[in-house]
Chain A
């Protein structure tokens, strides 16, 4: 096997993994604390990307664009929580998915209205636009390395917040046992609003990180959000640790499957058959993984306790 390609794809898989984590960690916390299913989380990913693209254009700096777009995305998240989501906590899951599905339609149309049907590209500064030789003979895009580092840093930060601070303790307690936290007299609404805003910012960040590679486009969040769901189902809803491990696992398996499954299949079946079957199979791989895990662990790898 091609060693260079293998390492490169491993890194690409990791990059996808951290992006998924940025999306999934917010989702899993929102669900864990409020028992709320937010389909529109992917819309915040899109909004982050568009805001960043515009601000990067205005300021002529990608980095400034990200710095300004982050709090704005969080604000959008807050607004959504305040206007719609807050009214839905007491309702059942069916109402959650329907209303947030409606939100997706609204967001997509609003972005269409504000930014037009065309996607928006983001120009990277020269330092980030190149490639670096990370190992002898292996060059990798600098920006993708940055994505990985940012993702890992956020994961580390989140880990520290959740394990070392009081707010984090409440979040953890809330995610595994809601009634206990309310019983402690904590204002769960405020806690949740904060978590929602933070989740929005992280989803937005993921969008900002991917936009320079793929462009910001309408509906960009609608596909990846399902993969983020797969991640939190595998990880166990409400568990940050589970979300992280599952995100990296899914990122790696998806990327590696797409590049090497045909090679692997050729060992067992004819070249031609392998080439027709591999794309479809690799597209299904993460879902098969999910099904396999659920068959043994219906609540994911790190099931919530006390529910």
Chain B
């Protein structure tokens, strides 16, 4: 039984949800090709980019118990790492993307070293404040458009190996990035390192007592999450062809947390479900009324009050119901 975990007959509802979700994403461009509804391609690209960001946030928030309210900073840093070189006519993605990842990691290292010395609500507020710092810094740099942002004339080029100028190619580039991120995070959370992170969330005092310097492990985890999100930011810059400080507005950080919680904290695919639900709801509600933020906010409150299991909880529930029927 156990050996066959890979065969679909033994998949859990969660695995099914993930498989179906990824299959839909993989096949979507074909559907768009047939129907010409390019709108869906845009929607799904954005969804996947935010999904990658949410997965990275989930690594620290869900697995590590570090409630960062500043994760959008890395989206911004990543996007500017594409935009600023492009502004100086450097379009090489092999330069831009490493810059995005390195700058994000560095920012995470410096701020994380300070934030992680604090606990609880201090941590929440400080992560928020540091992101606001970057936000204001970019607002006040006139050279790169300040408040108004900056248009990226050309997407990243990868030395002629492949290019993402075309929407479908960009889509698959993002899709591949998503798969890679999921796999990476899957490995990390199950590794020895991941166990320590999980343990430190559960009981830091005990972890100290058995010999872990949890601060160092958490800091590394924080840096990894920042680097992944910086990468997502580089994708976002390429996708929107436009960057502005608004990407790292603190409400953007709040939205990322919402995605994680909506999908299910501490799960692998939950944040992607959360990002999908978020993006779709946003589309749907904003078509109904210009006051859609009210509905959105109310939904958020209701989810927190009554439905903390997230969408994954729903998947489990449906799975159990189906199973009961079968037997």
Contact = CB atoms under 8 A, between A and B. Distances in A.
Touch between chains A and B, by CB atoms below 8 Å: yes
Contact of A229 (B118, B129, B297): B129
Given A102-B300, A283-B140, A113 B122 contact: no
A39 B304 CA distance: 15
B182 interface: no
Given A106-B294, A294-B114, A283 B137 contact: yes
Interface stretch (A91-99, A157-165, A170-178): A91-99
Contacts, number: 139
Interface string B126-142: 10111011001101111
A112 B290 CA distance: 9
Contact of B118 (A109, A282, A294): A294
Contacts of B254: 39, 97-98, 101
B126 A99 contact: no
B293 A108 contact: yes
Interface string B182-200: 0000000000000000000
Contacts of A47: none
B38 interface: no
B287 interface: no
Contacts of A37: 121, 124-125
Nearest to B125: A229
Contacts of B133: 283-284, 287-288
B296 interface: yes
B261 A94 contact: yes
Interface residues of A, number: 48
A280 B137 contact: yes
A291 interface: yes
Nearest to B115: A294
Nearest to A288: B133
Interface in B126-165: 126, 128-130, 132-133, 136-137, 139-143
A280 B291 contact: no
A121 to B, nearest CB: 22
B250 A226 contact: yes
B210 interface: no
Nearest to A95: B304
Given A99-B300, A226-B132, A93 B137 contact: no
A113 B294 contact: yes
Contacts of A97: 67, 69, 124, 254, 257
B43 interface: no
Given A276-B143, A280-B141, A283-B137, A102 B118 contact: no
A130 interface: no
Nearest to A39: B254
Interface in B255-285: 257-258, 261
B292 interface: yes
A105 B293 contact: yes
B27 interface: no
Given A94-B261, A299-B122, A283 B293 contact: no
A87 B305 CA distance: 8
Interface string A15-42: 0000000000000000100010101000
B291 A113 contact: yes
Contacts of A98: 254, 257-258, 261, 300, 303-304
A152 B97 CA distance: 51
Contact of B67 (A94, A104, A108, A226): A94
A202 interface: no
A87 B140 CA distance: 41
> Taking each of B124, B130, B136, B251, which has the highest tally of chain A beta carbons within 10 Å of its own beta carbon?
B136
B32 interface: no
B310 to A, nearest CB: 12
Contacts of A237: 121-122
A222 B258 contact: no
B126 A233 contact: yes
Interface string A277-306: 001101110011011001100111000000
A105 B69 contact: no
A282 B137 CA distance: 9
A304 to B, nearest CB: 11
A84 interface: yes
Contacts of B140: 279-280, 282-283
Greatest chain B CB density within 10 A among A103, A107, A279 is at: A279
A109 B294 contact: yes
Nearest to B251: A222
B114 A295 contact: yes
A230 interface: yes
A105 B294 contact: yes
B41 to A, nearest CB: 28
Contacts of B129: 226, 229-230, 233, 287, 290
6 contacts: A93-B121, A94-B257, A102-B296, A109-B291, A291-B130, A294-B126
Counting from the closest, the 6 A-B pairs by CB-CB distance are A105-B297, A102-B300, A109-B294, A283-B136, A287-B133, A106-B297
Interface of A: 31, 35, 37, 39, 84, 87-88, 91, 93-95, 97-99, 101-110, 112-113, 222, 226, 229-230, 232-233, 237, 276, 279-280, 282-284, 287-288, 290-291, 294-295, 298-300
Given A84-B305, A106-B301, 5 more contacts: A95-B304, A112-B291, A222-B250, A229-B128, A280-B140
